[in-house]
Amino acid sequence: MPNLQQLIENIYAELLPQLGAGKVADYIPELAKVNPRKFGIAVETIDGGSYFVGDAEESFSIQSISKVFGLTLALGKHGDALWRRVGREPSGSSFNSIVQLEHENGIPRNPFINAGAIVVCDAILAGHRPKEAIGEILRFVRQIADDDTIVIDPAVAQSEQKTGYRNFALANYMRSFGNLGHPPDLALGVYFHQCAISMTCRQLARAGFFLGNGGRMQNGFAVIPRERARRICALMLTCGHYDASGDFAFRVGLPGKSGVGGGILAVAPGEASVAVWSPGLNRYGNSELGTHALQLLAERTGWSVF
């Protein structure tokens, strides 16, 4: 294995001329303000190495990457009963699509499309107040990242609360099928705040470590059983990039979860947890440069689940 620090520095330098590629998400007004010329990579290896380059210590909105942490928490609360309310199949549709819900009884295809993640947030809410559920999610993320400084960006949450008409439509539609236990604004309050968690690449790579390490954190604490970590990784591989999940598997070959903030968390089971960030997105809403960086990293390290 070549020197990992050198390796990510080389990838960073090679991609630097493409800085600003893609289009920053602007349907959430607060995200449109982000500098498109940011680029960071962080790697935490299972054997204890820690490597980073570029803007890896700058916080960004993790958006849909948070769906992995929400799912982990909801499975801990409800176990396999959760799968009665949300499926485990790739949707082949965009992340905010509503079409399949009509023919599929308001049960979203998977927990990573918006509709599925809203159901997962509804399950975390479980009769409590949104504030308590949001606090629980934030505490969980801080715990798995082993970092109490992680916060939710209130401006991003409010920005989505004001403009998230699609998500309101999804939530209302699912409620009409009886697949939302709380009024849509409460479930969405949890969802928007979960998406507005702000983290750096370094924090994110640490938070994802347990997924690549059979459910255990760096300090040995068992967050979830090994089997559940495998299953969450399987869902990341098949559904983590929406209608570009097949392409991501083809190019990178690792479980990954993207967010419209331009971050991607990728997991090489038994090897490493990797976080990349570059705000310019491709037409599927996934980081353009981030995907490219992960492709090069996987090629050069040989990390792959295949």
Q: Of 191, 245, 252, 267, which residue is the catalytic one?
A: 191
Bridge partners, 60 (sequence order) = 199
Which span (226-234, 253-261, 270-278, 295-303) binds ligand DON, by CB under 6 A?
253-261
Task: Rule CB under 6 A: say whether 159 interacts with ligand DON.
Answer: no
DSSP state of 22: S
Minimum Å gap between C-beta 14 and ligand DON is: 24
Beta carbons within 10 angstroms of residue 206's beta carbon: 22
Are the C-beta atoms of 255 and 266 separated by less than 8 Å? yes
From candidates 195, 207, 237, 268, binder to ligand DON by CB under 6 A: 195
The reply to whether 284 belongs to the active site is no
Structure tokens at 132: 């308590």
Q: Which of 207, 205, 196 is nearest to 294 (CA)?
A: 205
d(CA 226, CA 23) in angstroms, rounded, equals: 37
By CB under 6 A, is residue 90 in contact with ligand DON? no
97 assigned to active site: no
Residue ranges of the binding site for substrate: 64, 114, 160, 167, 191, 242, 260
C-beta of 203 vs 286, nearer to ligand DON: 286
Q: How many CA atoms lie within 13 A of 158 on its CB side?
A: 3
The rounded distance, in Å, linking the Cα atoms of 285 and 247 is 13
CB nearer to ligand DON: pick between 165 and 306 = 165
Q: Identify which of residues 7 and 232 has a Cβ nearer to ligand DON in the complex.
A: 232
Give the interface with ligand DON as residue ranges (CB under 6 A): 63-64, 95-96, 114, 160, 167, 195, 258-260, 285-286
Active site residues per annotation: 64, 67, 191, 242, 260
